[in-house]
């Protein structure tokens, strides 16, 4: 490996460091008797790697999760029972992890201590302290079976980086996601408390292995084959992680992915480390170098064609990126200094069996051309993957042009000067043995920041075609049982093929161990392209939207005045149009010139026309793919451009039934589509065809077109007599070279800048400007045409003439000459009369028999055409009648079914009306019955109320009488007791409580008196008791009557409520019954 070529060049980039004198990393070349260059040998001795005979190394690693989760994450670690026993006999006391078979070669274990981490906000959890062993692979030959743990790493063509710190690893779900990778870098960097100093060995071949080494003993700690590494990423500048990098690798099985994070003490070395990873994916160092003269490519089945397109986007200040302008004539991009940019690469395979692009490993950029690999600078990848249509693989990277290494393409360059820029993309293709690099060299011009930039109508890109010739590998030649099927035989770009030059290195560079420099041919100059015999593709040439401020102001004032009165053209308009309409204003100006400012009815008509069938659909479809194939908007089959173009051509073929679609109309429609929407483009096309008389050229067997040819020849005879005589001598007639000029208005073969200017002139002055442009073309090419013969002249019109005007300067001179030529309409009318007179004279001079035969042939052809049309119409008529008969039968059947349904509906309507009347009558009866019941209930309620009132009055009267009687009785009793108490005899007979007591005083004289008095008192007492009993009886009878009345009142109230409920229930049930029956009939 040439160490000087790869790291000897010192770069001022902040992303890479390439010096052998650095103490941070050195390049180790393992070749016998090979030493570094003399000027730095002593430094290498000081900074070289030292090997110590030491049995182990303390390795602290940050894990995530519990011990079981860590065990799962490290399931590919091999455990040696003897070493595990030794580790367990120490102070650790923890049981080792179970062994997992993965490697066949013997391994040596070194005790590893896993330090716990503090729980943080991220997904990393604290771990208990564990004692584990990690396999360390010492250097060994392929045929050796045993090795010593202190043996250095095996000899391998690699770059070794020291003074690195391993921060740990973690599982990731999206191994190719830059966002997730940066997040894990941030987490591991912030939470790692016990980082490990390591040395990193990165191989220079795709079959190699990335190794982690102990910086003291140079023994291997872990290794990761290159084919298992999926993605590399570095921390962004200006963040805490800018000195870190990481790579993701496929773990024990394809479903588990891990990310390993490192920190570099000298942050500038990070870019160089990532560049070394990119180098590892290029061509193997032990492959035979390609021959200085690659074998000629043949279109065999082993040639694979790729188209690689480069697109540059700039920040537009609105939160998005827009494609920059590209001058296709000069093959250069126009950039603005100091603005963030994006590089977008599109890779598409266009032939042979499809090869699967697995991933992009690096996107690199450098100013200049013929750049060495070591001078390329790695860009930050933003995205990679298939495009939305699945046709191409798209890689996007961010480019900060303000860094020192890109100073050459970030400084303003003069308008007449261009600088080169080299872009490279490294791709890993599944079926190929090694990755490949597609390299594009383009010209750029850095414009002034104050220069006005108009963004183009569609994306601008530089495209190069590459031819990759492969050789199928025999099974025994394959190094592994992978999908590798081919090895690269030769590679060649389309530019190299066209220039017929062979180079020492193809344009797809594969890293070689012997040499890393190759020469890439620059794109051909305009003169070189003009020398080849290939005609200029239609739609070629870029039209810039840049315009001077004064011109824009002039046009702005003119348009403001014009809009005030659209029926009258402003006087300065013709002079301005002859100088060319600004590209940014062409869409509006063309519509105004054509008189399409009030075309709403035609817009609606267009939307109707595109829905109809066109009899010329096949011809339109065939021509669409051949219209402007060099323009980005129309080159994609089935794209938006071709779809809009198809609609316009189809709509016109239906709109103009007499002419229909004619070959060449698609070019004019495409020119209009580049400046306005479909509807407006259709309106302008109709105006050009009808109002400007272009459709007259297609009528009457192109009779008017032949008249135009005659007029052109007469004008040549007047303005360019020597060229006219030369064409007569070589028998070159106008229709042989000018047919496309008139039928397509120069849109088919000439560059777009010139085409647009011609359309400006034509819409302003009329179709006669074709003569001005044609005479200008013939005048400017007069000297060359006078030296040609018949075939040379035809070829000159087909190839060199259109290519000559790819330059805007040449096209401007031509249009100035065309505008300066004065061709009066009177003169054209005169030539037209001469043509018709000549045609009549020819017809008269022609022999009658020949004339009649010719006329007969014409009539026969017309008759055959008419008969064919008649047959077609008859067939169409029969088909239409059959279709109409079928439609009529279907309509009659449908009518019968509808009539039956109508009769059924009418009958249902009659039944419904009867039911409605019945329900109305029943409803009226129910209302009447309800009213009667309500009146009856109200009368009963009034009656019962009056009875209740009377009962209450009687009860109150009886209560009052009873109270009075009781009061009177009480008074009388009190009087009697007073008398009894006042009488001595009676006091003896009665106690204080009122009970009668027996007095045993025997007085013989008064016994009889006492008995009589006693009898009278008893009688009075009985009378009083009887009266009291009668009063109580009356009271009881009154209470009974009250209860009886209350009972009757309750019964009356219940009867009223029952009567109400019974009527309401009957009414509701009747209504429900009627409603249910009606619903069933309706359903």
- Cα–Cα distance, 665 to 671 (Å, whole number): 10
Mean pLDDT, range 442-452, rounded to an integer: 78
Angle between the N-to-C axes of helices 721-729 and 703-719, in degrees from 0 to 180, rounded to the nearest 10: 120
Q: Tell me whether strands 332-335 and 326-327 are parallel, antiparallel or unpaired.
A: antiparallel
Say whether pLDDT at 532 is over 70: no
pLDDT at position 281: 67
The per-residue pLDDT for 290 is: 36
Residue range 443-462: mean pLDDT, rounded: 65
- CA–CA gap between residue 613 and residue 695 (Å, rounded): 21
The pLDDT tens digits for 147-177 are: 333 334 445 678 888 889 999 888 888 787 8
Q: Write out pLDDT tens, residues 575-584.
A: 999 999 999 8
Between 280 and 954, the more confident residue is 954
CA 993 to chain centre: 117
Q: What pLDDT sits at residue 705?
A: 92
Spatial distance between the Cα atoms of 124 and 347, rounded to a whole number of angstroms = 39
- Note the Cα 179 to chain centre separation in Å: 19
Q: What is the pLDDT of residue 520?
A: 28
Judged against a pLDDT cut of 70, whether residue 293 lies above it is answered with no
| DSSP track, 38-72 | GGGHHHHHHHS------S---------S-HHHHHH
Would you place residue 362 in the very low, low, confident or very high pLDDT band (cuts 50, 70, 90)?
confident
| 1023, burial (CB in 10 Å: exposed 0-12, middle 13-18, buried 19+) | exposed
pLDDT at 552 over 70: yes
Cα 355 from Cα 468, distance rounded (Å): 11
Nearest Cα to Cα of residue 352 among 490, 250, 470: 470
Question: What is residue 993's predicted lDDT score, i.e. its pLDDT?
Answer: 63
10 Å Cβ neighbour count for 734? 19
Residue of 590, 583, 575, 541 lying closest to 759 (CA atoms): 590
What contacts 839, CB < 8 A, 6 or more positions away?
Answer: none
Burial zone of 54 (CB within 10 Å; 0-12 exposed, 13-18 middle, 19+ buried): middle
CA 796 to chain centroid:
47
* CA gap 200, 137 in Å, rounded: 14
> Which of 324-333, 534-543, 731-740 has the highest average model confidence (pLDDT)?
731-740
Closest CA to 926 of 1059, 1075, 1066: 1066
The answer to whether residues 162 and 48 touch, using CB atoms and an 8 Å cutoff, is: no
Maximum separation of any 2 CA atoms in the chain, in Å: 204
Q: Which residue has the higher pLDDT, 115 or 359?
A: 359
Most confident residue range from 77-91, 102-116, 220-234, 751-765: 751-765
Torsion of the alpha carbons at 488, 494, 500 and 503, rounded to the nearest 10: -40
Task: Summarize pLDDT for 191-204 with one digit per residue, the tens.
Answer: 887 788 899 998 88
- Contact 16/378 with Cβ under 8 angstroms? yes
The predicted model gives 225-230 an average pLDDT of 83
Highest mean pLDDT among 421-435, 502-516, 992-1006: 421-435
Let me know: does 643 contact 622? Beta carbons within 8 Å.
no
3-state secondary structure of 231: strand
Query: Rounded to whole angstroms, what are the CA distances from 20 to 122, 827, 937?
Result: 39, 82, 121
pLDDT at 92 over 80: no
pLDDT higher than 60, residue 65? no
Q: How far is CA 328 from the centre of its chain?
A: 29
- C-alpha closest to that of 508 among 488, 527, 482: 488
Name 315's bridge partners: 321
Closest to 66 measured CA to CA, from 27, 107, 14, 123: 123
Q: Label residue 89 by pLDDT band (50, 70, 90).
A: very low
What value does the mean pLDDT of the chain take? 75
**The pLDDT value given to residue 852:** 82
Is 631 in contact with 456 (CB distance < 8 Å)?
no
Whether pLDDT at 541 is above 90: no
**CA–CA distance, 77 with 220 (Å, rounded to integer):** 14
What is residue 667's predicted lDDT score, i.e. its pLDDT? 94
pLDDT over 90 at 43, yes or no: no
The span from the CA of 270 to the CA of 232, in Å, is: 11
Percentage of the chain modeled with pLDDT above 70: 73
Residue 800 scores a pLDDT above 80: yes
Predicted local distance difference test score (pLDDT) of residue 730: 92
**Mean pLDDT lowest for which of 64-78, 247-261, 396-410, 732-746?**
64-78
Which range (552-566, 846-860, 889-903) has the least confidence?
846-860
Asked if residues 387 and 408 have their Cβ atoms less than 8 Å apart, the reply is no
Q: Which residues of 964-996 are buried (b: 16+ CB within 10 A; e: fewer)?
A: ebeeeeeeeeeebeeeeeeeeebeebbeeeeee
Stronger pLDDT, 989 or 239, i.e. the higher one: 239
Identify the pLDDT of residue 996. 60
* Mean pLDDT in residue range 228-242: 85
CA atoms of 251 and 1004, how far apart (whole Å): 146
> 1016-1068, pLDDT tens digit by residue?
888 888 888 888 888 888 888 888 888 888 888 888 888 777 766 666 667 77
Q: What is the reported pLDDT for 174?
A: 78
d(CA 666, CA 628): 9
User: For 410-419, 822-831, 877-886, which range has the lowest pLDDT when averaged over its residues?
Assistant: 410-419
Looking at residues 20-31, what average pLDDT do you find?
32
Flag whether the pTM goes above 0.85: no
Q: How far apart are CA 873 and CA 886, in angstroms?
A: 19
Residue range 599-614, pLDDT digits in tens: 778 888 998 999 988 8
Q: What is the pLDDT of residue 1018?
A: 84
- Nearest CA to 446 out of 419, 472, 428 is that of 419
Check pLDDT > 60 for residue 142. Answer: no
* Residue 542: other Cβ atoms inside 10 A: 18
Residues 280 and 226: their CA atoms lie apart, in Å, by 7
Mean pLDDT of 323-327: 77
Residue 361, phi then psi, degrees to nearest 5? -95, -15
Specify the range with the lowest mean pLDDT, choosing from 42-46, 388-392, 449-453, 742-746. 42-46
| Confidence category of residue 947, pLDDT binned at 50, 70, 90 | confident
Average pLDDT of span 49-75: 37
Q: Which tens digit of pLDDT belongs to each residue from 874-899? A: 888 898 899 899 999 999 999 999 99
Q: Which of 52-66, 377-391, 493-507 has the lowest mean pLDDT?
A: 52-66
Q: Tell me the pLDDT band of 347, cut-offs 50, 70 and 90.
A: very high
Average pLDDT of span 536-549: 83
Cβ partners under 8 Å of residue 1039, min gap 6: none
pLDDT (0 to 100) of residue 896: 93
7-16, 382-391, 552-561, 840-849: range with lowest mean pLDDT: 7-16
**Quick one: average pLDDT of 302-310?**
88
Determine the Cα–Cα distance for residues 346 and 324; give it in Å rounded to an integer. 16
Band the pLDDT of 378: cuts 50, 70, 90: confident
Helix (H) or strand (E) holding 142: none
Confirm if 775 and 821 have CB atoms less than 8 A apart.
yes
Query: In this predicted model, which residue has the larger pLDDT, 125 or 692?
Result: 692
Which of 764, 796, 763 minimizes the C-alpha distance to 780?
A: 796
User: Where does the pLDDT of residue 117 fall: very low under 50, low under 70, confident under 90, or very high at 90 and above?
Assistant: very low
Strands 332-335 and 436-446: parallel
Q: Quick check: 131 pLDDT over 60?
A: no
**What is d(CA 536, CA 663) in angstroms, rounded to the nearest whole number?**
19
Q: Who contacts 499 (Cβ-Cβ below 8 Å, separation ≥6)?
A: 521, 524, 528
- Positive or negative CA dihedral for 219, 224, 225, 230? negative
Q: Which helix (H) or strand (E) holds 250?
A: strand 244-250
DSSP labels, 618-673: HHHHHHHTTSSTTSTTTSSTTSHHHHHHHHHHHHHHHH-TTT---TTHHHHHHHHH
């Amino acid at each position: 490996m040439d160490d000087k070529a790869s790291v000897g060049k010192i770069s001022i980039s902040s992303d890479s460091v390439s010096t052998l004198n650095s103490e941070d990393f050195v390049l180790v070349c393992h070749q016998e008797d090979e030493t570094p260059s003399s000027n730095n040998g002593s430094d290498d001795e000081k900074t070289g790697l030292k090997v110590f005979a030491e049995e182990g190394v303390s390795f602290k690693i940050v894990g995530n999760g519990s011990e079981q989760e860590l065990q799962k994450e490290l399931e590919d670690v091999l455990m040696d029972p003897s070493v595990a026993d030794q580790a367990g006999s120490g102070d650790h006391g923890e049981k080792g992890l179970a062994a997992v078979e993965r490697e066949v070669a013997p391994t040596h274990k070194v005790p590893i201590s896993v330090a716990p981490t503090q729980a943080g906000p991220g997904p990393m959890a604290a771990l208990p302290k564990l004692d584990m062993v990690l396999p360390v692979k010492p250097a060994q030959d392929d045929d050796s079976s045993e090795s010593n743990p202190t043996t250095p790493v095996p000899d391998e063509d690699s770059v070794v980086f020291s003074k690195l710190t391993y921060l740990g690893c973690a599982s990731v779900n999206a191994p190719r996601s830059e966002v997730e990778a940066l997040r894990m870098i941030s987490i591991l960097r912030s939470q790692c408390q016990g980082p490990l100093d390591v040395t990193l060995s990165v191989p220079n071949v795709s079959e190699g292995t990335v190794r982690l080494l102990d910086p003291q003993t140079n023994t291997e700690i872990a290794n990761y084959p290159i084919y298992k590494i999926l993605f590399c990423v570095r921390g962004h500048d200006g963040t805490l992680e800018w000195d870190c990098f990481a790579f993701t690798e496929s773990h024990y099985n394809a479903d588990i992915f891990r990310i390993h994070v490192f920190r570099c003490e000298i942050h500038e070395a990070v870019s160089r480390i990532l560049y070394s990873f990119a180098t590892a994916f290029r061509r193997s160092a032990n492959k035979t170098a390609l021959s200085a003269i690659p074998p000629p490519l043949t279109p065999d089945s082993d040639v694979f064609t790729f188209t690689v397109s480069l697109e540059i986007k700039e920040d537009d200040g609105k939160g998005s990126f827009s494609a920059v302008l590209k001058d296709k004539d000069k093959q250069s991009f126009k950039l603005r200094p100091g603005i963030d940019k994006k590089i977008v690469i599109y890779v598409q395979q266009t032939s042979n069996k499809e090869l699967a692009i697995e991933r992009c490993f690096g996107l690199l950029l450098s100013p200049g051309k013929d750049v060495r690999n070591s001078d390329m600078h790695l860009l930050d990848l933003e995205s990679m993957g298939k495009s939305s249509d699945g046709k191409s693989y798209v890689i996007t990277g961010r480019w900060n042009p303000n860094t020192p290494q890109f100073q050459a393409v970030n400084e303003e360059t003069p308008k007449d000067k261009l600088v080169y820029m080299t872009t490279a993309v490294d791709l890993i293709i599944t079926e190929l043995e090694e990755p490949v690099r597609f390299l594009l060299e383009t010209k750029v011009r850095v414009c002034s920041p104050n220069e006005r930039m108009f963004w183009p109508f569609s994306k601008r890109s530089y495209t190069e075609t590459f031819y990759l010739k492969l050789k199928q590998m025999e099974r025994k030649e394959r190094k592994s049982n992978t999908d590798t099927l081919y090895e690269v035989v030769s590679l060649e770009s389309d530019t190299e093929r066209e220039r017929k030059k062979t180079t020492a290195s193809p344009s797809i560079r594969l890293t070689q161990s012997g040499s890393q420099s190759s020469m890439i041919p620059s794109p051909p100059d305009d003169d070189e392209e003009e020398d080849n015999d290939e005609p200029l593709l239609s739609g070629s040439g870029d039209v810039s939207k840049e315009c001077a401020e004064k011109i824009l102001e002039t046009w702005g004032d003119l348009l403001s005045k014009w809009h005030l009165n659209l029926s009258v053209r402003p006087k300065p308009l013709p002079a301005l149009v002859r100088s060319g309409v600004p590209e940014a204003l062409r869409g509006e100006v063309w519509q105004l010139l054509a008189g399409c400012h009030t075309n709403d009815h035609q817009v609606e008509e267009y939307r109707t026309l595109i829905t109809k069938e066109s009899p010329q659909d096949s011809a339109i479809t065939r021509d669409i793919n051949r219209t402007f194939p060099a323009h980005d908007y129309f080159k994609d089959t089935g794209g938006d451009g071709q779809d809009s173009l198809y609609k316009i051509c189809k709509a016109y073929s239906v709109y103009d039934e007499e002419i229909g679609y004619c070959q060449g109309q698609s070019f004019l429609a495409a020119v209009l589509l580049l400046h306005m929407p479909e509807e407006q483009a259709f309106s302008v096309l109709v105006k050009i065809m009808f109002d400007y008389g272009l459709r007259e050229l297609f009528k009457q067997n192109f009779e008017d077109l032949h008249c135009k040819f005659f007029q052109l020849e007469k004008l040549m005879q007047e303005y360019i007599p020597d060229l006219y005589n030369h064409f007569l001598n070589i028998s070159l007639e106008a229709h042989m070279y000018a047919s496309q000029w008139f039928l397509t208005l120069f849109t088919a073969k000439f560059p777009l800048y010139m085409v647009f200017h011609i359309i400006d002139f034509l819409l302003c002055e009329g179709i006669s400007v074709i003569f001005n442009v044609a005479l200008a073309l013939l005048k400017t090419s007069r000297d060359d045409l006078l030296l040609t013969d018949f075939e040379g002249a035809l070829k000159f019109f087909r190839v060199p003439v259109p290519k000559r005007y790819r330059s805007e300067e040449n096209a401007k001179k031509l249009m100035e000459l065309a505008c300066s030529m004065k061709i009066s309409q009177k003169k054209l009318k005169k030539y037209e009369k001469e043509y018709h007179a000549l045609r009549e004279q020819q017809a008269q001079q022609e022999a009658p028999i020949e004339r009649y035969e010719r006329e007969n042939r014409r009539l026969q052809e017309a008759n055959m055409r008419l008969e064919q049309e008649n047959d077609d119409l008859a067939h169409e008529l029969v088909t239409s009648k059959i279709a109409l008969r079928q439609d009529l039968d279907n309509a009659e059947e449908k009518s019968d079914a509808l009539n039956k349904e109508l009769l059924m509906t009418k009958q249902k309507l009659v039944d419904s009306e009867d039911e409605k009347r019945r329900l109305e009558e029943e409803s009226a009866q129910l209302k009447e019955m309800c009213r009667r019941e309500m009146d009856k209930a109200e009368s009963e309620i009034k009656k019962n109320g009056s009875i209740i009132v009377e009962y209450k009055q009687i009860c109150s009267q009886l209560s009052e009488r009873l109270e009075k009687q009781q009061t009177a009785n009480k008074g009388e009793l009190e009087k009697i007791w007073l008398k009894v108490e006042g009488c001595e005899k009676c006091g003896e007979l009665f106690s204080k409580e009122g009970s009668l007591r027996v007095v045993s005083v025997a007085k013989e004289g008064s016994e009889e008196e006492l008995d009589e008095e006693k009898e009278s008192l008893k009688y009075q007492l009985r009378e009083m008791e009887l009266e009291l009993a009668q009063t109580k009886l009356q009271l009881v009878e009154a209470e009974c009557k009250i209860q009886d009345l209350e009972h009757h009142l309750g019964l009356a109230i219940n009867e009223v409520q029952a009567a109400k409920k019974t009527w309401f229930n009957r009414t509701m049930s009747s209504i429900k019954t009627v409603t249910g029956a009606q619903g069933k009939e309706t359903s």
